[in-house]
Amino acid sequence: MRLIMMGPPGAGKGTQADIVCASMSVPHVSTGDIFRANVTQGTALGIEAKRYMEAGEYVPDGVTNAMVRDRLEHADCAGGFLLDGYPRTIEQVSELDSMLAAQGVGIDAVVELTVDIDEVVKRLVNRAIEQGRADDTEEVIRRRLEVFAKQTAPLTSLYASRGLLIQVSGMGDIAEVTARIEAAISASA
């Protein structure tokens, strides 16, 4: 299966993606995780990405698309994958469309986790304290939510128009949300 997990920062995408990937045996492709790994390793990509991430801005499409293209060409993605945090812009959608078209495959479903915005801010502040993420200060959190609303929220209607969008409430405990996601994916298959 080829899945996309969408939702605002703090919706629980990463946590749910990990669980769904383990149960479906597909690789979890998280652009945020790949960027963070590059920042930690001090690669050229990490140095470039860091300044955008710390400001709550998106890394430029050219950089992000090239990174995803490379990742999806790995053998483990041949039978399916779950994209977490990508695509986030209309240009990334077009680029993903062409990557998949070249392989003669397509996305099976787009899961959007919907959450209450006050809850999201609370989660992000807690995560900043637990993980010490530099992009989780209150100012940056606010900026990340604004960028999401402007650039990424419109992608849901685009995928809805393709009949691929599944909206799932991300509120409640982790197991409850996972059960909703898995039920929604099976119902759509």
Residues at the interface with ligand AMP (CB under 6 A): 9, 31-32, 35, 52-53, 58-59, 64, 85-86, 88, 92, 135, 144
**Residue 131 DSSP one-character state:** H
Tokens, residue 77: 């993605």
Is 2 tagged catalytic? Answer: no
Q: What DSSP assignment string belongs to 94-124? A: HHHHHHHHHHT----EEEEEE--HHHHHHHH
13 noted as active-site residue: yes
Nearer to ligand AMP, 26 or 67 (CB): 67
Q: Which is nearer to ligand AMP, 19 or 188 (CB)?
A: 19
> Is 58 within 8 Å of 148 (Cβ atoms)?
no
Active-site residue, selected from the candidate residues 88, 123, 143, 162: 88
Give the DSSP H/E element, type plus range, for residue 84: strand 81-84
Kindly state the smallest distance separating residue 123's Cβ from ligand AMP, in Å. 12
Smallest separation, CB 189 to ligand AMP (Å): 26
**Where in the sequence numbering do the catalytic residues fall?**
13, 88, 127, 133, 144
